[in-house]
Amino acid sequence: MNIIKIEGVSDSYPELVDGTTEWYFCKDSNNCFCDLYEAEEIVKSGEVFSGMVCHLIHFPEGTVYSPFERKENVYIEQPIWDKGTLYFLGVDFYKQKIQIYSYFPDSQRLKMIKELPLGIVEDCYNLMLKVSPLMLCRAGNNGIYEIVWPENKKIEIGETEGLLFRDGDDLYFSEWYEDPEYHENVIIRDFDTGKVKEKISGYLCKLPNGVYWKV
């Protein structure tokens, strides 16, 4: 059995970055593993959040890349992959800023590509990056899907819908239901109006070459 010791990562299980076969991520916190919204609630309560960062691990050799230094009241979300680039969402609760980064492992270059005031969103519940192109989105669990940046739109969706990706003027959502067994639909909505253009039974699976399998 061949076991490679991964140095620089502890107490975190590596997860594959969606859309790749070579990049894994590990979240890393001092003592508080929680999601972004829970971190926000800690800060709002008057306590100090210990900080959250993400490490990258490259397959197959297991090289670890650590683009961020862990800081109090700063949360770095897991990365997304789009057209050969890794992107990270960060929230600095001290500065009250949302920060979007691109990262290039070959040169170990981290670049902030956008900084937004945290006050532009109601809260950080389901605040995340989506593609493609790169978008900052929020699903507030209130029947509204919000595209925050680079454009600002609010779209009415079903209670079990979640955005998969954007393709031109089409937004692809997944919808689940039980009847009585679990099933999913793919719902294509118009980007400008939010109206349903097509509803298809089944699943979409993203492959590393950017192609999707329809199942």
Q: What is the pLDDT at residue 31? A: 66
**pLDDT digit string, tens, across residues 56-107:** 999 999 999 999 999 999 999 999 998 889 999 999 999 999 999 999 988 8
Q: Where are the alpha helices (DSSP H) in the chain?
A: 36-44
Beta partners for residue 97, in sequence order: 92, 117
The set of residues, in sequence order, having a beta carbon less than 8 Å from that of 142 and lying 6+ positions away, is: none
Q: What is the pLDDT at residue 162? A: 92
Q: What is the pLDDT at residue 138? A: 95
- Is the pTM higher than 0.75? The answer reads yes
Contact yes or no for 72/53 (Cβ under 8 A)? no
With H, G, I as helix, E, B as strand and everything else as coil, classify residue 118.
Answer: helix
- Domain spans of the chain, in order of start: 1-124
Give the pLDDT band of residue 210 (cuts 50, 70, 90): confident
Q: Left (φ > 0), alpha (ψ -120 to 50) or beta: where does 198 sit?
A: beta
**pLDDT digit string, tens, across residues 9-68:** 877 889 999 888 899 999 988 767 789 999 999 999 999 999 999 999 999 999 999 999
Give the pLDDT band of residue 111 (cuts 50, 70, 90): very high
Tell me the residue length of the chain.
Answer: 215
**pLDDT digit string, tens, across residues 184-207:** 999 999 999 999 999 999 999 887
**Is the pLDDT score of 113 beyond 70?**
yes
**Is the pLDDT score of 180 beyond 70?**
yes
Cα–Cα distance between 166 and 135 in angstroms, integer? 9
Q: What is the pLDDT at residue 132? A: 84
> DSSP letter at 119?
G
Q: What is the pLDDT at residue 71? A: 94
Token pair of 154 as six digits? 């609010």
**pLDDT digit string, tens, across residues 141-177:** 788 999 999 999 999 999 899 999 999 999 999 999 9
**Can you say whether the dihedral through the CA atoms of 32, 38, 39, 45 is positive or negative?**
negative
Contact yes or no for 12/28 (Cβ under 8 A)? yes
Cα–Cα distance between 178 and 38 in angstroms, integer? 29
Q: What is the pLDDT at residue 98? A: 98
- DSSP letter for each residue of 27-61: EEESS----HHHHHHHHHTTPPP--EEEEEEETTT
Contact yes or no for 187/199 (Cβ under 8 A)? yes
Beta partners for residue 84, in sequence order: none
Cα–Cα distance between 118 and 44 in angstroms, integer? 13
